[in-house]
Structure 1
Amino acid sequence: MPYNKKQMYVYIQNVIKKINEVMYIKVAELNAVAWVTREPVPFEERCTGEKKQINMGETWGQLWDCGWFHFTGKVPKSQAGKKVVLLIDVNGEGCVFDRKGCPIRGLTNISSYFDYTLGKPGKQVVQFLEHAEGEEKIDIWVETGCNDLFGRYSKKGTLEEACIAVCNKQMRALYYDFEVLYNLMLQLPDSESRHMSILYKLDEAAKIMKNYTEEEAAIARKILMSELNKKGGDPSLTISAIGHAHMDLAWQWPIRETIRKGARTFSTVLEMMERYPDYIFGASQPQLYIWMKEHYPSLYRKIKEKIKEGRWEVQGAMWVEPDTNISGGEALVRQVLYGKRFFREEFNKDMKSLWLPDVFGYTASLPQILKKSGVDYFMTIKLSWSEINQFPHHTFNWQGIDGTKILCHMPPEGTYNSSASPQAIKKTESQFLDKGVSDRCLMLFGIGDGGGGPGAEHLERLKRVKNLNGLSPVVQESSLDFFKKIDNDSNKYKTWNGELYLEKHQGTFTTQAKNKKYNRKMEIMLRELEFSSMLAQLNADKIYPQEDIEEIWKEVLLYQFHDILPGSSIKRVYDESLDRYKILMDKTEELLKQSFAAIVDKINITGMNNPYVVFNSLSWERKEWVKVNDDWQYLSVPSMGYLVTDEKKVEIPNENLVIKEDHLENEMIKLRFNADGTIKSIYDKEYKREVIQEEMVANKLAIYDDQGDAWDFDINYDERLCDSFLLVSKENYVDGPQAVMKQVYKYGESELIQKVILTKDSRRIDFSTEVMWEERNKMLRTSFPVDIYATEAICDIQFGTIKRPLYRNTSWELAKFEICAHKWVDISQRDYGVALINDCKYGYKVLENTIDLNLLRSTEYPGIDADRGRHEFTYSLYPHNGDHVVGEVAKKAYELNIPMNYIKGNINEALLPKAKSFIEVLSDNVIIESVKKAEVDNDLIIRLYENNNSSVDTQIIFNFDVKSVKMVDMMEENSREISIEKGVINLRFQPFEIHTLKVSI
């Protein structure tokens, strides 16, 4: 007679379901009273909201409402001697507090939106009494949010459950015995003896369960022990598992809710650690720890104790887990600088790994930044999300644009929410692309975003699978221990060169344009503030505002979080961050004025009627037209210095500025316009060549249907017909040294006003643009089909450049249909090229000979009305001789982005001369990115980099008294003396190398 295996499977599943139902037996209801508010209130003010008596099944709030629930009751006398728990589900998130106001346990509604292939997300069990005596009073407070894990309004915010229950301990243990073995069995072919052995033991144990008593459960467990006690042999792969709770600092919820999510999660972790001695948990992001320290000091003290014990691993080296595509180079350095300093000062931990599981691609500048900050390892998950090509490794060496390598690992399961089940382990085994080369990989288990991290289910599974026959062994350990072990074989691993491009989420280069603009402007303003503050300290003895600058920087770094800066959060996040950006910008502007004023007071300004001081923070002399107090002047301002000029009317010879109905012209460039406002010709008079490809038009303001969300849009969007803005009026005029064509466009309810500007003696064509954008599900782009033949575009990234393909010969090239670049993209032949520069945009398409810039995207999810409203931005076309190096494209882009500052001077006879360069760099290839005060003393920090992929010897000249110069790392440590003679040092740069100097003054 054949075995009826199919029926056995069904029978076992039904038994498992029944065991789950009787693990907890409800014995009484809790009384629930809630005080509801729109925004969170602290424990001490928990009774200040609207008071409501809430019965089960009743709604207690609307989306984002906050509540303090007071649950009371009494353990029935009949339950004496039993383990008693509380079952609470408010259809939102919650956190149990002790009587002193310390979070002790997070709760999550069972109905939370989640990927159920990873398990159920809910946490509703509150441990109460291990051995009840009966009639104990229950009196607990739970802070709640009327939102599920991902900001959804679940089941109308009803009180789903508030009960006293008895935990049947043997039944609970039996459930996990069954679950682990059944899940393991399903991962094995039924032709294997191990599969059949488990099946028959499960069937035998299931037949014991008739009345589902604790006695039956104990007998069934003994039957299953014969399978659970079967150990694995000598492993070919060992899996290192660490508890994880991926925490988005904002996403489908506002930042304020993340603070409470942190408390819910971290209190749950601490409670689980008391029950599971093998449990090792890790968490990143100093910003999150700071919030715990400020809002929940007693909880924070408990966290510090677990870190000291080695049970809790602090992870990552950055202030937050930031976007690395759009964040500027100096911002990425500050992420590490402030992040590592925090962990060192708070916990005495020197962070050696970067922890970025969920970021949308990784700049090729990152390996050098990490290595020069003392970071040796990098962990991510996200490349497993690529949609066209599979990334070929999980353990590999990543080489950046300068040749620096860093050891990387991606957990093969492809998730940071692993269930830690046999299925998860088998998936890890099968998907690990470097097995055989490496005998270890990483698993991150738990539930994130306020889900409390690992639950009892994860830890119960790990107790059973750590050395179970049929599976690779699993050891709970820190990620740093894991990296140290695989580092021993780092020479065996393959090397990936260049950026880690995510073949998904390309829409994040553009979505929420205002936020991206503020980020660019704040990075630049902080650069200017630090430079001016150092000059003020150096020349005017003004105290450097270090605390203010650090405070501003840290908030800017917060908004670079990988679901804020990329544009993938809800509308409220951007409403709040834009308000804060305005405040930060005003504060920075005021500090900047104070620094400039202090310097100006020390400048000898005599013999002038109405003097102004013009400042140049860039590391080369700038010769350009500047509008000083509404009057144009052509000025030559020294590098990293200033020039005093008198306010005066300047006669501008403009015989070479030509304006006609359909064209503009200066000494170098002639523009001809079509009737619809597009450009049909850009003629380079100096080099006698047409810039625009024949029979093509430039600067077509194209509008595409965009049914995507904040993250993504259709790869084939440009294969469909597009609309465009309609030109409704135009005028041209001369403004000092500028020939201007002003054009007004309409589309639907939107209006666009653009000034196309040619400036005297300049090759740069500026498109100064104002848009009142009222579209939904549309994308606005401009494009320039240039008469250049090349196979690659050169793209500006942090601390250097990277090449991107212009053709789609392979699937890897096809995947890069939209790319991220910073201030410019250039297409060049050896003899001639064209760059497209911008002041706040990041999304480009480069295809064949066309540079296409993504200007606005009006998506509706998760943030409604994205990009609707008023925008101002400038992009510039820059034709030039030679390639991007000969054409000095990088300098022109810096100059567009960093206009010179000026301030009214005071007529005096102070010491400083009327023109001065404080620092000179005698190489066009080397750029000073930042000048700031050192973190721990009053020395000067200067960060420079080679920008043109060349080996360079150069001199740096300091035109002020210098005691010594040292080369340091990006943590401003590990110094090496540099010889200085008469204020001059010699420096050697390798291609794209970054140097950090510490100058004693």
Structure 2
Amino acid sequence: MPYYQKNTLDRIEKMFWRLQTSYYRQIADLEVTAYVTKEPVPYAERFSGEEKKLEIGAVWGELFDCAWFHFTGKLPEGYDPADCSLIIDISGEGLCVDENGNPLIGITNGSAIFEAGSTRKRSVPLKYLNVKDGYVDMWMDAGCNGLFGDYASGALREANISMRLEELRSLYYDYFVLKETMEQLSEKTARYHCIQRALNKVCNIMDEYTEEEAVQARAVLKSEMEKSGGDASLTITGIGHAHIDLAWLWPIRETIRKGARTFATVDKLMDIYPEYRFGFSQPQLLFWMKLYYPDLYTRLQKRVKEGRIECQGAMWVECDTNITGEEALVRQIMQGARFWKDEFDFDIDNIWLPDVFGYSAALPQIMEKSGLKYFMTQKLSWSEHNQFPHHTFNWVGIDGTSVLVHMLPEETYNSLAGPAALHRAEEKFLDKGVSDEALMLFGVGDGGGGPGAIHLEKLARLHDVNGLPRCRQGFAKDLFARIDHDRDEYATWNGELYLEFHRGTYTTHARNKKFNRKMEQLLRELEYAASLAYVYAGKDYPTQLLDETWKEVLLYQFHDIIPGSSIKRVYDESLARYEILVEKIQDAIQEYYAAVYDGEYAINSLNFARTEYVQKDDTWYKAELPAMGAAKLLALTAADQDVTAKDGVLENEKLIVKFGENGEIVSIFDKEAQKETLEEAANKFKLYDDTDGDAWDIRIYYMEKNPKTMQLISSKFYVDGPNAAAEQTFEFGKSVLTQKVILQKNSDYVTFDTTVDWKETEKMLRTDFATCIHTDEVTCNIQYGSLKRPTHRNTSWEMTKFEVCAHKWIDLSRDDYGVALLNDCKYGYAVLENRMDINLLRSTMSPGVDADKAVHTFRYAYYPHRGNEKHALVEQKAIAFNILPVLTNGHNAAALPESFLQTDCTNVEITAVKKAEDSDRLVVRMYQTDGTESICCVTLPARVKKVSFCDLMEREAEEVPVENGAVVLKFKPFEIHTILVEM
């Protein structure tokens, strides 16, 4: 080796890039015609678009245009089709099809990942085509967008027939693997110098880049390629993956096509690489394949049966777990796990969420009660300030349930699967002293595409390479089972897995979030109404309607839709669909209630009695509602309207609310406790600068700059039936906010009924309440319970939780007194010391422009109370605030009990009543709400025959004794119980 050794590194690098472009030799051009449309059309209609004859460099479309491309050409004499490929680059994505229009293989114009080598897919081997007498004829369904929704140019870049030089190709991958291996080693090692010497020799051999030179060069590298003895202390299991965002920087319709391109490529590469193992997640994506690409879907089913493809993750989509509601999380798993079993005979045992923005502390119990053991992610590696301390660990949820978590130590689900990837995984694996295995997901994800030959060729050379961890391809399911044996050795993390990033997603695109909660509640209501009609009126249960609607709602809970982090088109389309779904489900609710009630009723689907004032045709009525029952509407008495509203003051029996001259609340006085609950003026509408934010992120320093406030322009005070109301209008810029502050008869909370015509850009609208409560913790409602979070900033871990997610309520309490904020559709909060701040709206410009510039309606409430949140039944108040009585005018009188179901305890909430998926029994799901042990008697319909426990997937467990038409259930803190009721 010469003494100028270091000077060869630049030479070695240049050779690498030369080799990458050396192993295809163009031998003929292709003729190209595109038939361009704005939206996709099927193969049978491929001629329907605008016809364009294309030369290289010609622009064929605009962003998200579609086209059927027709490629024709002639293979020169003397060339074997088996040695040749079409080389195609259309500045977009494409699905090549056979003569029947069935998927062959996908092409892509590239990837954002260029750390080493190119991951674009541009080669279509002629052996896949029906080449007759040397004539090439191929169709391709194309999209004028990059993998990440970007617009590259819309131009045709390459379209030719090329000969593939196999020895040069193999040399490239040998060289690639050795060069990258060397780069992971210390320059002080002998291995480093041996590899460098061999690579330098290749540079001396390669001149004309012929196959003969390649054979000589590979012989030089052979001894280094064969040096084995990888690090036995860590084994990496690699599995191909294509984390496909179901919407993000592209519309949902393009996702369907991305799926076909990706999975067609997977299928073809499996013919070439026998060791190739791939995993797909998200049943929604496979459902689309079944619907739109049945031939491809059948091939995928075959690959699963062969043991080549693994089904990953029980959820219907990789949903956001901050905002998705409790029952929806159960349905995500139920729909997903059933799909994998029914369609692929695959038993799922894991949750698979590599790219979700934080993880609810309710998930461990939901998983365990769904028969799931393992959880996989990597997103916590994105945290801004504090490094999450583990990659393999036990995660304990709010109820004490523990599941095993493995986070990808390479901290990406888009691994390039080379020596650098293995080295990074080993270097970063925080639990490598405890666990000797880790998972690697390789391929191009987010925008789809999956692995290419570049990944598989490298892995074929990396089984047991000296200087690197050992690597093998295999299923994640098997790795989870292996590392489970050492579970007692792993550390434990209690509570939520909070991502110190993407906090803006609790608020961005507020209308989608409101529709999501509304649909979750409407589906709950329909299932209850349909169960009544099924049991008492013999009416058919709306199985198909519920199944189809639930699946669509679950789709919109995908982690780039419900968080607000997709482009504008995604929300234009989802909002339109939500409106249709709401109307359809509301109509169905009325239909099923009408089947059991005769006349006008108010119906209460909650499992506690309540008195409500309801408005019908501009007239107020009173309804004394039993638990899960109904009542006739009662005319108001004078006593029902005994409230006060005068300039600046609202008053009822319990509270006095006073307003300042700018419309703010200056006092909320608890008459029963003789206590002022505010320390300073509250409910000011503050606009914070959000120019440094985007759909995902709120910057921690936003509060350092003084906010602007909306200005009061009008106000009036009046009594409307049982309501003392202040109606106020505020302005800022071109935005107008109108709010009715309502204090209802007998109510112990103040309601803020709000409408905003929001027209701001890069502003964040918030309001806050500085309460009389100083405490170290705020209690935050999440799915199936609540958790405590700090109200101070003592440490960096607490500082980063400057914005947190909660569902229906948050509460600041001492043992003697507290204050809660309730809401009907908001999720983002900031709580510091005694101040509760609610994030109402944002107006970001990236990735979607003009987010939430629209009219919004929402409600929140201020609830001061004696005792803490448990004693004050804050959860009951919040669920009643969200789920209002349903007014119906029925036409059938069924023999209904006063209450369909009753519970004798205030801290157990029934969250679902539905028909079982696979029988005529009813499913009743409930949970303990306040984190204490409880014994609850549940009174059932009189004709019950048998009651059994079941898990969340409705698999029957032990029978529950029924005595006098009731069952007695013991609950651990926050425990979920599901029972099957046979009538």
Give the alignment partner of residue 114 of structure 2, picking from 107, 113, 116.
Answer: 116
Contact 1:683 1:690 in 2 (8 A): yes
- The answer on 1:627 being equivalent to 2:615 is yes
Question: Residue 935 of structure 2 corresponds to which residue in structure 1?
Answer: 953
Question: Residue 89 of structure 1 corresponds to which residue in structure 2?
Answer: 89
* Alpha-carbon separation, structure 1, partners of 2:132 and 2:209: 24
Question: Residue 651 of structure 1 corresponds to which residue in structure 2?
Answer: 638
1:951-970 deviation line (CA, Å, top 9, x unaligned)? 11111111431000000001
* Alpha-carbon separation, structure 2, partners of 1:246 and 1:132: 32
Contact 2:340 2:347 in 1 (8 A): yes
Q: What is the TM-score with the length of structure 2 in the denominator?
A: 0.98
* Alpha-carbon separation, structure 2, partners of 1:654 and 1:94: 67
Give the alignment partner of residue 167 of structure 2, picking from 165, 170, 175.
Answer: 170
Contact 1:122 1:451 in 2 (8 A): no
Contact 1:265 1:450 in 2 (8 A): no
- The answer on 1:532 being equivalent to 2:532 is no
* Alpha-carbon separation, structure 2, partners of 1:134 and 1:912: 75
Give the alignment partner of residue 702 of structure 1, picking from 680, 686, 692.
Answer: 686
Give the alignment partner of residue 910 of structure 2, picking from 928, 952, 955.
Answer: 928
1:118-172 deviation line (CA, Å, top 9, x unaligned)? 6533110111149999961110011110000011110x20000001111110000
Contact 1:118 1:417 in 2 (8 A): no
Contact 2:350 2:374 in 1 (8 A): yes
Question: Residue 767 of structure 2 corresponds to which residue in structure 1?
Answer: 782
Question: Residue 5 of structure 1 corresponds to which residue in structure 2?
Answer: 5
Shift of 1:18: 2.0
Aligned residue identity for 2:759? E
Aligned residue identity for 1:984? A
* Alpha-carbon separation, structure 1, partners of 2:308 and 2:831: 49
Question: Residue 104 of structure 1 corresponds to which residue in structure 2?
Answer: 104
Contact 2:230 2:468 in 1 (8 A): no
- The answer on 1:137 being equivalent to 2:135 is yes
Question: Residue 495 of structure 2 corresponds to which residue in structure 1?
Answer: 498
* Alpha-carbon separation, structure 1, partners of 2:14 and 2:941: 83
1:885 aligned counterpart, secondary structure: coil
Shift of 1:14: 2.1
Shift of 1:101: 1.1
Shift of 1:116: 2.2
Question: Residue 294 of structure 1 corresponds to which residue in structure 2?
Answer: 291
1:441 aligned counterpart, secondary structure: strand
Shift of 1:191: 0.6
Cα distance change, pair 313–133 in 1 and its aligned pair in 2 (3 A): closer
- The answer on 1:980 being equivalent to 2:959 is no
Aligned residue identity for 2:94? G
Question: Residue 384 of structure 1 corresponds to which residue in structure 2?
Answer: 381
Contact 2:735 2:756 in 1 (8 A): yes
* Alpha-carbon separation, structure 2, partners of 1:151 and 1:384: 25
Counterpart mapping for 1:454-473 below 5 A: 454-473=451-470
Shift of 1:79: 3.2
1:359-394 deviation line (CA, Å, top 9, x unaligned)? 001100001111111111110011111111000000
1:865 aligned counterpart, secondary structure: coil
1:31-71 deviation line (CA, Å, top 9, x unaligned)? 00110000000111111111110111000011111010100
* Alpha-carbon separation, structure 2, partners of 1:962 and 1:761: 38
Question: Residue 734 of structure 1 corresponds to which residue in structure 2?
Answer: 719
* Alpha-carbon separation, structure 2, partners of 1:10 and 1:236: 33
1:698 aligned counterpart, secondary structure: coil
Identity between Structure 1 and Structure 2 (%): 51
* Alpha-carbon separation, structure 2, partners of 1:805 and 1:529: 38
Cα distance change, pair 654–296 in 1 and its aligned pair in 2 (3 A): closer
Shift of 1:624: 2.8
Give the alignment partner of residue 275 of structure 1, picking from 255, 268, 272.
Answer: 272
Question: Residue 608 of structure 1 corresponds to which residue in structure 2?
Answer: none
Contact 2:230 2:470 in 1 (8 A): no
1:714-760 deviation line (CA, Å, top 9, x unaligned)? 11101101111110010000011110000011110010000000011
1:790 aligned counterpart, secondary structure: coil
2:174 aligned counterpart, secondary structure: helix
Counterpart mapping for 1:714-725 below 5 A: 714-725=699-710
Contact 1:631 1:650 in 2 (8 A): no
Stretches of structure 1 that go unaligned for 5 or more consecutive residues are: 602-610
Aligned residue identity for 1:126? V
Question: Residue 668 of structure 1 corresponds to which residue in structure 2?
Answer: 654
Cα distance change, pair 219–718 in 1 and its aligned pair in 2 (3 A): same
Stretches of structure 2 that go unaligned for 5 or more consecutive residues are: none
* Alpha-carbon separation, structure 2, partners of 1:434 and 1:552: 43
* Alpha-carbon separation, structure 2, partners of 1:209 and 1:2: 19
Contact 1:623 1:635 in 2 (8 A): yes
Give the alignment partner of residue 544 of structure 2, picking from 547, 554, 579.
Answer: 547
Aligned residue identity for 1:627? Q
Contact 1:352 1:480 in 2 (8 A): yes
Cα distance change, pair 352–80 in 1 and its aligned pair in 2 (3 A): closer
Shift of 1:658: 2.1
- Of stretches 164-173 and 132-141 in structure 1, the one that deviates more from structure 2 is 132-141
Question: Residue 636 of structure 1 corresponds to which residue in structure 2?
Answer: 624
* Alpha-carbon separation, structure 1, partners of 2:165 and 2:128: 11
Aligned residue identity for 1:670? I
Shift of 1:634: 3.3
Contact 2:282 2:317 in 1 (8 A): yes
Aligned residue identity for 2:320? D
Contact 1:83 1:130 in 2 (8 A): no
1:116 aligned counterpart, secondary structure: coil
1:589-633 deviation line (CA, Å, top 9, x unaligned)? 1110101100114xxxxxxxxx52111110111123233444333
- The answer on 1:579 being equivalent to 2:576 is yes
Aligned residue identity for 2:49? G
The Cα RMSD (Å) is 1.6
Counterpart mapping for 1:239-278 below 5 A: 239-278=236-275
Cα distance change, pair 451–543 in 1 and its aligned pair in 2 (3 A): closer
Counterpart mapping for 1:126-275 below 5 A: 126-129=124-127, 136-154=134-152, 156-233=153-230, 235-275=232-272
- The answer on 1:567 being equivalent to 2:564 is yes
Contact 2:243 2:448 in 1 (8 A): no
1:618-664 deviation line (CA, Å, top 9, x unaligned)? 01111232334443333321101112345x45334544x22221111
Question: Residue 314 of structure 1 corresponds to which residue in structure 2?
Answer: 311
Question: Residue 888 of structure 2 corresponds to which residue in structure 1?
Answer: 903
Contact 2:505 2:697 in 1 (8 A): yes
Counterpart mapping for 1:397-416 below 5 A: 397-416=394-413
Give the alignment partner of residue 842 of structure 1, picking from 812, 816, 827.
Answer: 827
Count how many residue pairs are aligned between Structure 1 and Structure 2: 982
* Alpha-carbon separation, structure 2, partners of 1:272 and 1:280: 10
Give the alignment partner of residue 912 of structure 1, picking from 895, 904, 911.
Answer: 895
Q: What is the TM-score with the length of structure 1 in the denominator?
A: 0.96
Contact 1:232 1:472 in 2 (8 A): no
Aligned residue identity for 1:300? Y
* Alpha-carbon separation, structure 2, partners of 1:80 and 1:477: 35
* Alpha-carbon separation, structure 2, partners of 1:133 and 1:265: 24
1:426 aligned counterpart, secondary structure: helix
* Alpha-carbon separation, structure 2, partners of 1:118 and 1:403: 45
- The answer on 1:744 being equivalent to 2:729 is yes
1:236 aligned counterpart, secondary structure: strand
Aligned residue identity for 1:864? V
* Alpha-carbon separation, structure 2, partners of 1:301 and 1:89: 29
Contact 2:596 2:894 in 1 (8 A): no
1:465 aligned counterpart, secondary structure: coil
- Of stretches 79-88 and 815-824 in structure 1, the one that deviates more from structure 2 is 79-88
Aligned residue identity for 1:123? K
- Of stretches 953-962 and 588-597 in structure 1, the one that deviates more from structure 2 is 953-962
- Of stretches 129-138 and 662-671 in structure 1, the one that deviates more from structure 2 is 129-138
2:513 aligned counterpart, secondary structure: helix
Contact 1:82 1:167 in 2 (8 A): no
Give the alignment partner of residue 421 of structure 1, picking from 411, 414, 418.
Answer: 418
Question: Residue 39 of structure 1 corresponds to which residue in structure 2?
Answer: 39
Aligned residue identity for 1:137? Y
Cα distance change, pair 119–523 in 1 and its aligned pair in 2 (3 A): farther
Shift of 1:883: 0.3
Cα distance change, pair 212–121 in 1 and its aligned pair in 2 (3 A): closer
